[in-house]
Structure 1
């Protein structure tokens, strides 16, 4: 429900604040006062297209803000969550600012928002009808949604769309697998060669490093034997070796300690040094004996290193990458070899999905045909009461046999508003007032299924009066039991039945024109209804007539 609308510097409105409640609210005023401007402001707020002339002359920017109670309105919470907008406590505040210089801006609950978000939120809140841009009834997609809502087809439409998406997904997967097979078969021999070559090498990730270490030892084996033997001899085996010399020095150290016991620390260090040198000398002997001088083994290593180098040059910078390349080639070969089985499985699934889609689309088409007739009858029965005597709505279903996501057929509303004329597409026939009355008939037919909380009708009463005006008022009252209804009207019969009445007035001061809005109660409302009746609002007879109308006695 719209609870408050604030407009500042929009068109000729300098500033206006309107508070709305449930039920039926009307806006009235003399011709040219700017009644429709407030509807245009609301349309702009829910995603309409702005233009520079919407900003009041002399002002740099215009601002429109509205507060909505959205508790229980489907889709609002998810849209806010997706957009990262705070949404709690059941309220939604939309604000839009137009600027002569710089970009226009929009906010939802204080967070910057896109026009698209405003439009998506508006589609779940407000239906606007009349002489402004925001007429979704002219859109064939919206006409289809109306038909499906009237027939309660939404679940079947969703199932049809899901079946279509499943079939499309299977087609895409089939295309990918077939493409893989075509490409794979052309390179299967290469993949097989790659797998065999890498597998035959029996690689380990660090083999090249191990071989390099072994090759270096074999290449320098004679030098290693000579050096390790010399060190063993000098440190341990020779007369006067380092070990012998350290032993003699130990005797000297004992003498030192005898003289000065405080030097015993040096004896411990000497013993540790002697043991280390002795261990070093002894250890060099088995190291020397273990060194092999094997030219044949070195040749084998060089051949193996050459193989590893060629594999790395072809398949990766390291042996780990070469191994991974072989595994990937093997998996690709497995996919190619198993692709025929996968294609057969996907084709079977596609055939089943196509049959399911065809069955659902056929059921949807049949239900739409029945619903199209029922909706036409319901609307046509209401048109005479709405001043469109001789008017006729036909719901046309056009299809070429191709099944699309939302069914086989395209839905289009055709209308004839005068006897003797063939129905033509709605967008080429109806005026704003006629469009509003036609939508009123549709809304009356949809009252039990339409979940939009707010309905706005602009200039719904163009060219009518008398008994038809009472019938339109009756329809609006019935709609207002299930929706919040806002109407811009010239008719006293409608204004008198409203739960709230707002008067739009215009004043001119020099070259400046201002539009003001005020809520009417009591005597003010009587005077306005008397004016709308066409009489002199200051005469007792006109006021009495207005009072009777307001009291429901006429």
Structure 2
């Protein structure tokens, strides 16, 4: 969830830091105080579109930064996204996000966007992927994951605990696609088949005739290096042998004189025995060195024909790696794979019959699993619809209907054979429509609240933002809105932010923030304050109609009632 939000030069905000905790955080204030600016800031970090009017008057740039605490499955999912987009991993479970908007050009007409994740630049699309995982905005906004049918399908499966079966369907779909591709590769015209066979025969023959051995290229390169430098190697061997044993004044001859001296020395002083032993070891090691070098020089080949053969082999290996590689192991693997394909094409009728049988079996297995998944989804769709409809009753939709539509796809895909759509009708006699067709942002927010409440245990989005969720409601309905918001954040693992004009809703917040305008150095700015108990009572009294004794007393009762 979001630990802190830093906003600079955004609309009426000059420099504001918002530190928030888990649970239900209520936002209140007079109309026009700047509450929606805070939502705009979150939308920017969620990857939504922006325009230059967001930049504070008189400034050329604005920025929004956030620290987000991650844990459990959310941390793992975020790590996968960060790795995929090339961003740095999180340190100590903290994700750092930043977005800046800059007006550029002579008149400031152009807008420049920059986005950062953990200090590194990312694309706007990458930031949106991060935002989709972290934040749902419900109200007059379009960053609502539940409007996406793919997310509706995911939540239906999560609610019905059918995700494992869906994974089996995805695996079966992959197996079917592979079988279909193998069969399709065999289904060629006679001309294409003949051309493919000729090409494969040439390629396979070229690789097989080379009689390749794994790691051979390294051996050939070493042989070439030795053969190409054989004369120099022999000269070095001769020089070393002359210095050690064969030449005038050779080291071994010198050490023989040393030995004679030490033999005489040790007769007078026994301490010289250890030096004589050291001399013996040196003589033995030099004799071994000379023997090894002499053997080596006898193996070095000055034959020009040998060098030519090595050069030809090295050129052959280089050409094969360039054509089929880049490594010799890949050349060998390509030869084996294409030899198998060649055999299949030469025995096409038999092979095609086998592949068609394999494809049919894979399709049958996929269809069986998809049908099983469809049955499970139908079984869970009705109770889900009934639960959401029940939640809607408490939110002022006394005659509303929520439904889950399941339609068959033409072919099963990785997520099954069903197209899922959440439907809603606010009044009796009206046909249900897709959620995205709901015109009123207030209605939309309350429908989303009902769905979120029902699916709270399986919905993994950690930050929920509601705006206008209490529009056109009051009394006990407003209390119920507040109760559901509080319940959504009750487990301590979810953050619920709600802009509200209803004291019944605000009273149930775990934390209460007040937004107001203030004048600072001759400029109007937005100020955010977290309210204590006494300040909350005053704010609720204001929302009730005035800070008189009766309103304050009622505000205190509202705070106690929750």
TM-score by length of 1: 0.71
Q: Distance in 2 between matches of 1:406 and 1:481?
A: 32
Q: Give the counterpart of 2:546 among 529, 536, 541.
A: 536
Q: Structure 1 residue 168 and structure 2 residue 174: aligned?
A: no
Secondary structure of the residue aligned to 1:379 is helix
Residue of structure 1 equivalent to 2:358: 349
Change (3 A) 1:333 1:35: closer
Q: Distance in 2 between matches of 1:31 and 1:193?
A: 79
Q: Deviations over 1:2-27 (max 9, x none)?
A: 11111112223222211111211111
> Post-superposition shift, 1:180?
8.6
Q: Distance in 2 between matches of 1:104 and 1:195?
A: 53
> Post-superposition shift, 1:442?
0.8
Secondary structure of the residue aligned to 1:68 is strand
Change (3 A) 1:192 1:352: closer
Alignment of 1:316-335 (within 5 A): 331=339, 334-335=343-344
Residue of structure 2 equivalent to 1:501: 512
Residue of structure 2 equivalent to 1:492: 503
Alignment of 1:228-377 (within 5 A): 331=339, 334-377=343-386
Q: Distance in 2 between matches of 1:429 and 1:105?
A: 33
Alignment of 1:5-404 (within 5 A): 5-72=5-72, 73=74, 74-82=76-84, 83-101=86-104, 103-179=112-188, 183-185=192-194, 331=339, 334-404=343-413
Q: Distance in 2 between matches of 1:523 and 1:491?
A: 18
Q: Deviations over 1:229-250 (max 9, x none)?
A: xxxxxxxxxxxxxxxxxxxxxx
Q: Distance in 1 between matches of 2:469 and 2:203?
A: 78
Q: Deviations over 1:499-520 (max 9, x none)?
A: 1111111347999643221111
> Post-superposition shift, 1:107?
0.8
Query: How many equivalent pairs are there?
Result: 433
Q: Distance in 2 between matches of 1:51 and 1:318?
A: 61
Question: Would you say the 8 A contact 2:155–2:458 is kept in 1?
Answer: no
Change (3 A) 1:87 1:179: farther
Q: Give the counterpart of 1:439 among 428, 445, 448.
A: 448
Residue of structure 2 equivalent to 1:283: none
Q: Give the counterpart of 1:480 among 463, 473, 489.
A: 489
Q: Deviations over 1:301-325 (max 9, x none)?
A: xxxxxxxxxxxxxxxx999989x99
Q: Deviations over 1:70-95 (max 9, x none)?
A: 02124012222332413221111111
Question: Would you say the 8 A contact 2:438–2:444 is kept in 1?
Answer: no
Q: Deviations over 1:264-304 (max 9, x none)?
A: xxxxxxxxxxxxxxxxxxxxxxxxxxxxxxxxxxxxxxxxx
Task: Show structure 1 runs of 5+ residues with no match.
Answer: 201-316
Change (3 A) 1:507 1:349: same
Q: Distance in 1 between matches of 2:195 and 2:3?
A: 69
> Post-superposition shift, 1:186?
5.0
> Post-superposition shift, 1:181?
6.8
Task: Show structure 2 runs of 5+ residues with no match.
Answer: 105-110, 210-314, 325-331
Q: Structure 1 residue 451 and structure 2 residue 453: aligned?
A: no
Q: Give the counterpart of 1:518 among 523, 529, 532.
A: 529
Structure 1's consecutive aligned runs of 4 or more residues displaced over 6 angstroms after TM superposition are: 189-196, 317-322, 327-330, 508-511
> Post-superposition shift, 1:123?
2.4
Q: Give the counterpart of 2:435 among 426, 434, 438.
A: 426
> Post-superposition shift, 1:139?
1.9
Question: Would you say the 8 A contact 2:385–2:403 is kept in 1?
Answer: yes
Secondary structure of the residue aligned to 1:104 is strand
Q: Distance in 1 between matches of 2:133 and 2:90?
A: 15
Residue of structure 1 equivalent to 2:290: none
Instruction: Name the larger-Rg structure.
Output: 1
Q: Structure 1 residue 550 and structure 2 residue 559: aligned?
A: yes
Question: Would you say the 8 A contact 1:491–1:532 is kept in 2?
Answer: yes
Question: Would you say the 8 A contact 1:181–1:336 is kept in 2?
Answer: no
TM-score by length of 2: 0.70
Change (3 A) 1:25 1:338: same
Residue of structure 2 equivalent to 1:469: 478
Secondary structure of the residue aligned to 1:103 is strand
**Range that drifts further, 446-455 or 356-365:** 446-455
Q: Deviations over 1:54-84 (max 9, x none)?
A: 2222221110111111021240122223324
Q: Distance in 1 between matches of 2:403 and 2:357?
A: 41
Secondary structure of the residue aligned to 1:486 is strand
Question: Would you say the 8 A contact 1:15–1:516 is kept in 2?
Answer: no
Change (3 A) 1:408 1:8: same
Question: Would you say the 8 A contact 2:162–2:373 is kept in 1?
Answer: yes
> Post-superposition shift, 1:465?
0.6
Change (3 A) 1:41 1:319: closer
